[in-house]
Amino acid sequence: MVSRFEAIGGERALRAIIDDFVARMTSDAMIGFFFAKVDRARLAEKEYEHAADFLGAPDVRYTGRPLRAAHGPHRIFGGQFARRKEILRQVLIAHRVPEDVQRAWLEHVESLRAEVTSDPGSECR
């Protein structure tokens, strides 16, 4: 059985996806300010590790801080969480990621909502 990591094209494809995602996210009018003082190369590497680990890459594990610890000091609103997720969705489409992988990846991101924001109004309906 092919892993999701293999289904998107492996390391090279995932790094291209993540590079595009980080570029869009850090320059976004709604959420880009969160990343003004962030080392973008390190951010891209941690995003890569996190995604690769989820997608089933062999020998890749996320080595960053737990998400709650990393995001806890920041007041992240539900709309900002949703904006990041929408940027990811657009990037996945642009890179022609298979729909089943897109769906699983976005569901995974949604499952992490409580680790990133405690905004009680964070549910989009």
Q: Residues 36-90: pLDDT tens digits?
A: 999 999 999 999 999 999 999 999 999 988 888 888 778 899 899 999 999 999 9
The pLDDT value recorded for residue 123 is 52
Domain ranges of the chain: 4-116
Fold of 4-116: Globin-like (1.10.490)
User: What's the half-sphere exposure (Cβ side, CA atoms, 13 Å) at 119?
Assistant: 17
